[in-house]
Amino acid sequence: MAKLFLHYSTMNAGKSTALLQAAHNYRERGMEVLLLTSAVDDRAGPGRIASRIGISSAAECFVPEDDLFHRIAERAPLACVFVDEAQFLTAQQAWQLARAVDDLDIPVMCYGLRTDFRGDLFPGSAALLALADEIREVRTVCHCGRKATMVVRLGPDGAAAREGSQVQIGGNESYVSLCRRHWRAAMGD
């Protein structure tokens, strides 16, 4: 029976790397997969999932208006669907993915950030945390060696931003993953 998976972490933990490796494992065995990524994140160019360690793959973009159940149903049968930047899904789209798992019997593997730089859940991640059959953490470390679970967004002055919009696309240079203790210190708590 197919399952809905959520692989979550903070920034720069290697989620895209894990996604690309898993997708490769299917393709290597001649199985067809569908790769989806958010149109919000165009760091890798449109329709591409790229990892910091240098691997990448073509992907289809989704926008909040897309009905992902229908996108997947049109392409069925598929061995697996992979969703990168899953934090940018709407709650409705998380339900559409759950329906694809249940009604089309296609496994869906979502990879996304749990919280934003303010420590708030992303809407897509909140819905997936509620709906997923299996939830796995992709781990990374703070500079102190503890597990990093939070992220700060650095402003042009190098200080942690306390306010601003939830979505601002950037890579290593503008986000730093920290343990909660050091995140609180960076945020002035």
| Cis peptide, bond prior to residue 123, ω within 30 of zero | no
d(CA 160, CA 116): 13
CB of 81 to Zn ion, least distance (A): 35
Task: Given the residues 85, 134, 163, 173, select the one marked as catalytic.
Answer: 85
Contacts of 6 (CB under 8 A, 6+ apart): 86, 110, 112, 125, 128, 129, 132, 134, 135, 136
- Decide if 85 is catalytic: yes
Tell me: is residue 10 an annotated ligand-binding position: yes
CB of 101 to Zn ion, least distance (A): 36
Closest to Zn ion by CB, 50 or 179: 179
CB of 149 to Zn ion, least distance (A): 10
Closest to Zn ion by CB, 58 or 159: 159
Is there binding between residue 179 and Zn ion (CB under 5 A)? yes
Q: How many CB atoms lie within 10 A of CB 95?
A: 16
Closest to Zn ion by CB, 4 or 179: 179
d(CA 87, CA 147): 20
Contacts of 179 (CB under 8 A, 6+ apart): 142, 144, 146, 147, 148, 149, 150
Q: Which region holds residue 164: left if phi is over 0, alpha if psi is between -120 and 50, else beta?
A: left
Is there binding between residue 80 and Zn ion (CB under 5 A)? no
Residues 119-178 that bind Zn ion (CB under 5 A): 142, 144, 146
Is there binding between residue 109 and Zn ion (CB under 5 A)? no
CB of 37 to Zn ion, least distance (A): 30
Q: Which residue has the tokens 């997969």?
A: 33
Q: How far is CA 78 from CA 58, 106, 117, 160, 163, in A?
A: 16, 7, 35, 43, 41
Is there binding between residue 182 and Zn ion (CB under 5 A)? yes
> Interface with Zn ion by CB under 5 A: which residues?
142, 144, 146, 179, 182
Annotated binding site for substrate: 167-170, 175
Annotated binding site for ATP: 9-16, 84-87
Annotated binding site for Zn(2+): 142, 144, 179, 182
> Which are the catalytic amino acids?
85
